[in-house]
Amino acid sequence: MDYETLLLERAGGAIWITLNRPQALNAFTAQMNGELRRALLSATKEPNCRLVVITGAGRAFCAGQDLQARRQGFLEGQAPHLRDSLVQNYNPLVRAMRAAPQPILAAVNGVAAGAGMSLALACDLRFAVDEATFIQSFVRVGLTQDSGSSYTLPRLVGFGRASWLALSGEPLAAAAAEAIGLVNRVVPKDELVPAVRALADKLSALPAGVVAMTKRGLHRALELDLVRALEYEAWLQEIAGRGVSSTALRDRGGFLPGQADG
Ligand code: T3D
């Protein structure tokens, strides 16, 4: 499959998807959004893919929505329909990430701003280089949080810290992000690829179905009360105990009867 805004590479058990618009700090256009969604869906169907990695080309991870394109529309007198943009582009992307059986890792190689930060937050895990920064830049451009940040950020770092980051629009350095649990690991730039490779090797040695169910169980429990979370855990454990493969789970389209998406 050909992509104009992405690079794709397989390395061991990992498939790397690199956002490739470095001249605009890998800002999202509708095209890049659609291509990322397609690349993600196709990577997750690869039988030997145990980890999907999203990273950025050049010095940035992703600077959020392409504001140049928005500016051009504004100059041409077009009122932006941001709800449409979100519903058609970002929301399906975040849902696809959540539904993927494999863990998705953000390899944050530089600044992650606006929807670029949301993208990193929607991943299951985050490694960052020591010079990376995270910015909830929405308020700085007259917008509110989107592409899942209002949901993921407080769940990752707690309501107080999420409120500060979202309301102030202040950048958060990688080390501080690690200290509050937003990032799992911070590494020097030249150690990012080996660190991801080691994680991919680790995941490749684990049963894929169990990894997939663990991802699903973690996310599902966030939305349930204790009683229902316990029930869901018990169902997943029933399936795990029978040694169901990730392929079988994917072919079934879901984990429990009547739950195509989860
Ligand atoms: O519209 C919808 O669909 C709704 C969805 C909205 C979601 C959002 O993401 S809203 C938030 C959008 N993003 C931002 O507000 C971030 C804007 N960028 C910045 O604040 C800064 O660029 C950074 C803090 C990320 C990095 O700063 P710095 O000093 O390292 O780089 P720079 O000089 O500002 O940018 C370098 C180049 O990238 C520059 O282009 P040039 O002058 O070299 O030709 C700049 O215009 C370009 N660039 C940076 N961000 C964007 C961008 N081009 C297009 N869109 C961007 N978002």
Counting atoms of ligand 1 from 1, which one is nearest the CA of 171?
24
The count of residues in the chain is 262
Q: Are 127 and 136 in contact, with CB atoms under 8 Å apart?
A: no
How far away, in angstroms, is 111 Cα from ligand 1 center? 10
Nearest residue (by CA) to ligand 1, atom 3, is: 85
pTM for the model:
0.94
Span 241-253, mean pLDDT? 62
Report the distance separating Cα 202 and Cα 97, nearest Å.
21
Whole-number pLDDT of residue 212: 95
Nearest residue (by CA) to ligand 1, atom 6, is: 65
Span 114-121, mean pLDDT? 98
242: pLDDT confidence band, cut at 50, 70 and 90? confident
Burial class of residue 187, CB neighbours in 10 A (0-12, 13-18, 19+): middle
Q: What are the distances in angstroms from CA 54 to CA 17, 103, 160?
A: 5, 11, 28
Nearest residue (by CA) to ligand 1, atom 23, is: 63
Span 137-150, mean pLDDT? 97
Is pLDDT above 60 for 251? no
Whole-number pLDDT of residue 260: 42
Q: What is the mean pLDDT of the chain?
A: 93
| Ligand 1 site, residue 125, Cβ cutoff 6 A | no
- Residue pLDDT, tens place only, 39-60: 999 999 998 999 999 999 999 9
Is pLDDT above 90 for 69? no
Span 94-102, mean pLDDT? 97
Nearest residue (by CA) to ligand 1, atom 2, is: 82
Which secondary structure element, helix H or strand E, spans residue 222, and what is its range?
helix 208-223
Is pLDDT above 60 for 261? no
| Ligand 1 site, residue 72, Cβ cutoff 6 A | no
Is pLDDT above 90 for 247? no
Whole-number pLDDT of residue 47: 86
How far away, in angstroms, is 21 Cα from ligand 1 center? 12
Counting atoms of ligand 1 from 1, which one is nearest the CA of 85?
3
Closest CA to 24 of 53, 54, 55, 57: 57
How far away, in angstroms, is 237 Cα from ligand 1 center? 45
